[in-house]
């Protein structure tokens, strides 16, 4: 954990220490029982927004999120934050020995303005960068409609430089070939031309 916080702050001990202390304080307040129970986030879990299946060629677990399944009316922002923390805790608990990072496929198929929730996106980004640093290995954004770029322009300035380097927008025509560069077909989710069915995060 300490190494991850150090890497997130370019090995600056003072900045990394401040970041770690802030995280510990946040964790104590936001997750007082040590974990987020599924009963607290049933609305989000029922939609199967986040799924997990397979590993990339580096041994990192693969996550697939369907952005169109989330809508601002699904609950409060605090509910969504609890869902994000639950998912990240679950992912970290399932991390293979010797690995710290995961691969994330953000699928925007069917996404529209009714799904747009900038506050939720920024909250998710803040939790990932500030509380789970150096966990993201790569983020593939697939099936992105043109209108999504309007929202992306708002979110992009809040993404730190280390995270920006890990983001890849994938064109539909190159989707399967791009993913196969990093993921063996036997480990690739079947909806992208692979062989594994997706499993909702709560069932992993």
Q: What is the pLDDT of residue 9?
A: 87
Is residue 81 situated within a structural domain?
yes
Q: Is residue 125 part of a domain?
A: yes
pLDDT in tens, the chain (204 residues): 888 888 888 888 999 999 899 999 999 999 998 899 999 999 999 999 999 989 999 999 999 999 999 999 888 999 999 999 999 999 998 888 889 999 999 999 999 989 999 999 999 999 999 999 999 999 999 999 999 999 999 999 999 998 999 999 999 999 999 999 999 999 999 999 999 999 999 998
The Cα–Cα gap between 189 and 32 comes to 35
Tell me: do 194 and 169 sit in the same domain: yes
CATH code of the domain covering residue 83 = 3.40.525.10
Q: Domain containing 26: what range?
A: 1-30
Q: pTM for the full model? A: 0.90
Q: Are residues 53 and 145 in the same domain?
A: yes
Shared-domain flag, residues 19 and 110: no
Decide if 37 is inside a domain: no
Residues 6 or more apart whose Cβ sits within 8 Å of residue 21: none
CB 168 within 8 A of CB 134: no
Residue 139 lies in a domain: yes
Give residues with Cβ within 8 angstroms of 101, minimum separation 6.
60, 134, 135, 136, 137
Is residue 69 exposed (0-12), middle (13-18) or buried (19+ Cβ within 10 Å)?
middle
Is there a single domain that holds both residue 21 and residue 60?
no
Residues 6+ apart with CB under 8 A from 180: 188, 193
> Concatenated DSSP letters for 123-169?
HHHHHHHHHSTT-EEEEEEES--TTHHHHHHHHGGGS-HHHHTTEEE
Give domain status of residue 36, yes or no: no
What stretch of H or E contains 55?
strand 50-55
From 109, 120, 107, 126, select the one nearest 151 (Cα to Cα): 120
9, 96: one domain? no
pLDDT of residue 146: 92
pLDDT for 162:
87
According to the model, what pLDDT value does residue 184 have? Answer: 96
3-state helix, strand, coil in the chain (%, to 5): 50, 15, 35
- Predicted pLDDT of residue 117: 92
φ/ψ of 4, rounded to 5, equals: -65, -45
Do residues 166 and 74 share a domain?
A: yes
Residue-level pLDDT at 82? 95
pLDDT (0 to 100) of residue 22: 93
């Amino acid at each position: 954990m300490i190494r991850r916080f150090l890497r997130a702050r370019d090995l600056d001990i003072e900045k990394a220490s401040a970041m770690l202390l802030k995280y510990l304080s946040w964790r104590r307040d936001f997750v007082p029982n040590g974990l987020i129970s599924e009963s607290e986030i049933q609305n989000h879990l029922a939609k199967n927004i986040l799924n997990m299946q397979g590993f990339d060629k580096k041994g990192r677990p693969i996550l697939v999120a369907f952005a169109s399944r989330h809508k601002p009316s699904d609950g409060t922002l605090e509910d969504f934050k609890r869902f994000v923390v639950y998912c990240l805790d679950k992912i970290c608990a399932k991390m293979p020995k010797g690995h710290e990072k995961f691969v994330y496929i953000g699928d925007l198929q069917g996404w529209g303005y009714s799904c747009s929730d900038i506050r939720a996106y920024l909250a998710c980004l803040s939790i990932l960068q500030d509380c789970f640093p150096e966990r993201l290995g790569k983020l593939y954004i697939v099936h992105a409609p043109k209108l999504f770029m309007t929202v992306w322009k708002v979110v992009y300035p809040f993404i730190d430089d280390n995270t920006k380097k890990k983001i890849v927008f994938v064109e539909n025509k190159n989707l399967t070939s791009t993913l196969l560069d990093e993921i063996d077909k036997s480990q690739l989710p079947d909806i992208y031309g692979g062989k594994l069915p997706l499993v909702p995060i709560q069932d992993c």
